[in-house]
């Protein structure tokens, strides 16, 4: 296919965007100029130092689930509006050119020829759509090649995953297959918004947390192991012989849990926190075999109490394909508590802050464990129920 250039919209002089086309780093301005995107919108924004786009957000197109985002323009002289469709990313974010070319064809046929690959929630956006009919047509054509739209509005957003065991040796949980299962299982909640606010679900295969599940996910699912990392001493000696710097790893173990006597390595069970550092550095050390996931809740940036880290709700849940019963049960409990207690436009993190984490755990039906806090509380301001007053501490 020939590069798409629209002479009419790109004919005017654009000194600012031209400046951004220069330089060795890949340029978005150059990319935009290869499409029918109204480049004057960007040029004017830079000239005015202010966005030229108007109000927008999830738009409900009759007959179409979530996934359509509308955007008005403040400059009707350049363009009246421009909508986009969010496509749920494939498991592991792997793509095959034969199907991806079809996505590109759709983007070129209906949109302005620009894409966002990938968004911060790992979707693909097809940009520059003009009508509801086009958005419906795009969805139908995507459906025909096995892709679907979603990830907009107050729904479960794209269930994002890392590459997991497909290419990574550290993964203790099969994230791509879990993503496939979860997306199928929760497709109605993904496409039909019914929650107080958005729920971003993120998954990482191991505590390295490349998917930023703990920080970024309203609900985070992170692969963990409970036993100690496995050390293959023979291979370790081989690695040292080839120039591996064991001293640096010993020094940088955050809890000093590694005991090395020159011949063999032992890991102190009372000190190891399964942080993955030695596993990342030394190929002779592998994650343990008692594997599962930790489920966190409340990571977010916007909202009342500002940026928050996620909090561990379920420290260890067994992963049991093909129906993942334990995991779905735990996930559903968080959804239910949020559905029943969340106020309109209140993220899970803000709800936890308002309710209190103790109350939230109780509502989730979780038994309190030391894994739920980094330290116990320092005040005695807690509530007592009638039953507790009669029968002692729960």
The per-residue DSSP string of 320-373 comes to -TTTTHHHHHHHHHHHHHHHHHPPTT--HHHHHHHH-HHHHHHHTTPPP-GGG-
Nearest to 102 by CA among 133, 152, 140: 140
* Least CB distance to other proteins at residue 94 (A): 4
* Least CB distance to other proteins at residue 89 (A): 7
Nearer to other proteins, 332 or 365 (CB): 332
Q: Determine contact, residues 270/256, Cβ cutoff 8 Å.
A: no
Nearer to other proteins, 5 or 369 (CB): 5
* Least CB distance to other proteins at residue 145 (A): 8
Nearer to other proteins, 80 or 388 (CB): 80
How do strand 219-225 and strand 201-204 relate by DSSP bridges?
A: parallel
- CA 41, 43, 48 angle in degrees (round to 5)? 90
Q: Determine contact, residues 225/274, Cβ cutoff 8 Å.
A: yes
Residues with Cβ within 8 Å of residue 52, at least 6 apart in sequence = 41, 42, 44, 45, 73, 74, 75, 78
Nearer to other proteins, 131 or 143 (CB): 143
* Least CB distance to other proteins at residue 365 (A): 26
Q: Whole-angstrom Cα distance, residue 30 to residue 37?
A: 11
For residue 316, give both structure tokens. 């260890």
* Least CB distance to other proteins at residue 160 (A): 8
In Å, how far are 68, 243, 252, 266, 279 from 247, measured between CA atoms? 54, 11, 9, 14, 14
* Least CB distance to other proteins at residue 251 (A): 9
* Least CB distance to other proteins at residue 255 (A): 11
Q: Whole-angstrom Cα distance, residue 28 to residue 32?
A: 6
* Least CB distance to other proteins at residue 391 (A): 34
Nearer to other proteins, 85 or 334 (CB): 85
Nearer to other proteins, 143 or 325 (CB): 143
Nearer to other proteins, 19 or 329 (CB): 19
Nearer to other proteins, 304 or 388 (CB): 304
């Amino acid at each position: 296919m020939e590069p798409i250039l629209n002479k009419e919209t790109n004919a005017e002089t654009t000194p600012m965007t031209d400046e951004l086309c220069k330089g060795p780093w890949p340029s978005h301005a150059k990319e935009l100029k290869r499409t029918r995107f109204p480049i004057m919108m960007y040029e004017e924004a830079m000239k005015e130092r202010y966005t030229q786009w108007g109000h927008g957000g999830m738009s409900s197109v009759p007959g179409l689930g979530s996934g359509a985002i509308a955007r008005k323009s403040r400059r009707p002289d350049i363009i009246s509006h421009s909508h986009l469709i969010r496509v749920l990313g494939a498991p592991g974010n792997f793509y095959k050119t034969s199907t991806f070319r079809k996505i590109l064809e759709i983007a070129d046929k209906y949109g302005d020829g620009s894409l966002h690959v990938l968004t911060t929630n790992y979707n693909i956006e097809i940009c520059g759509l003009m009508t509801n009919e086009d958005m419906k047509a795009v969805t139908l054509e995507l459906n025909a090649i096995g892709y679907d739209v979603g990830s907009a509005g107050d729904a479960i957003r794209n269930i994002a995953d890392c590459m997991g065991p497909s290419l990574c040796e550290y993964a203790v949980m099969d994230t791509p297959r879990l993503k496939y299962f979860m997306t199928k299982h929760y497709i109605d909640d993904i496409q039909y918004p019914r929650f107080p606010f958005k729920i971003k679900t993120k998954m990482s295969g191991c505590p390295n947390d490349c998917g930023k599940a703990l920080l970024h996910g309203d609900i985070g699912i992170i692969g963990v192991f409970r036993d100690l990392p496995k050390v293959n001493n023979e291979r370790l000696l081989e690695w040292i012989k080839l120039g591996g710097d064991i001293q640096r790893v010993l020094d940088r173990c955050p809890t000093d849990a590694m005991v090395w006597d020159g011949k063999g390595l032992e890991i102190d069970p009372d000190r190891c926190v399964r942080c993955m550092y030695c596993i990342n550095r030394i190929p002779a050390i592998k994650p343990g075999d008692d594997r599962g996931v930790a489920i966190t809740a409340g990571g977010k940036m916007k909202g009342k109490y500002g940026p928050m880290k996620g909090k561990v709700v379920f420290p260890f849940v067994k992963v049991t394909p093909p129906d993942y019963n334990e995991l779905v049960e735990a996930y559903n409990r968080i959804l239910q508590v949020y559905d029943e207690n969340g106020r309109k436009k209140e993220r899970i993190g803000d709800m936890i802050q308002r309710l209190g984490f103790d109350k939230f755990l109780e509502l989730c039906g979780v038994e309190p464990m030391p894994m739920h806090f980094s330290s116990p509380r320092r005040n005695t301001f807690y509530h007592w129920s009638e039953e507790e007053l009669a029968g002692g501490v729960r």
